[in-house]
Amino acid sequence: MARPQKCRCICSKPQTTRFVPENGGAGPAVTLGYDEYEVIRLLDHVRLTQEQCALKMRVSRTTVTRMYDAARRKIAEALVCGKGIDIAGGDVIVCAGPKPQCSQEPHCCHRSSGNKEETA
């Protein structure tokens, strides 16, 4: 029996949640989960290590690796096949309050209500 998935902690939901190719897109859009977006943001944009990313998201480093691989495959499919990208869903918790390690984080928005979003 598989272990239940652990909720992933993210700093905030992205302000932009849809990207569409200039020609409108070929076929259905690829859906990137909030957790996959957060892994891409932390590893490629903020330039954290996988260990730092894992600590921030409260998951194991191997989970970060799996999410990163899945996100890269989805982004590659969208770019190569001319599909849009939607960012939505996932079993995530949005930070409820300021953390010392996020004091210089420009994309961190601390929300006090509606911190957990779950999708099937």
Answer whether residue 17 is part of any domain.
Answer: yes
pLDDT (tens digit, 0 to 9) for every residue of the chain, 120 residues total? Answer: 666 666 788 888 888 999 999 987 788 999 999 999 999 999 999 999 999 999 999 999 999 999 999 999 999 999 999 999 999 988 888 877 666 666 666 655 543 334 344 443
Q: What is the number of domains present in the chain?
A: 1
Which structural domain range is residue 28 located in? 8-117
Residue 94: the pLDDT is: 84
pTM of the model: 0.78
Using H for helix, E for strand and C for coil, what is the string for the chain?
Answer: CCCCCCCEEECCCCCCCEECCCCCCCCCCEEECHHHHHHHHHHHHCCCCHHHHHHHHCCCHHHHHHHHHHHHHHHHHHHHHCCCEEECCCCEEECCCCCHHHCCCCCCCCCCCCCEECCC
Residue 117: the pLDDT is: 43
Answer whether residue 64 is part of any domain.
Answer: yes
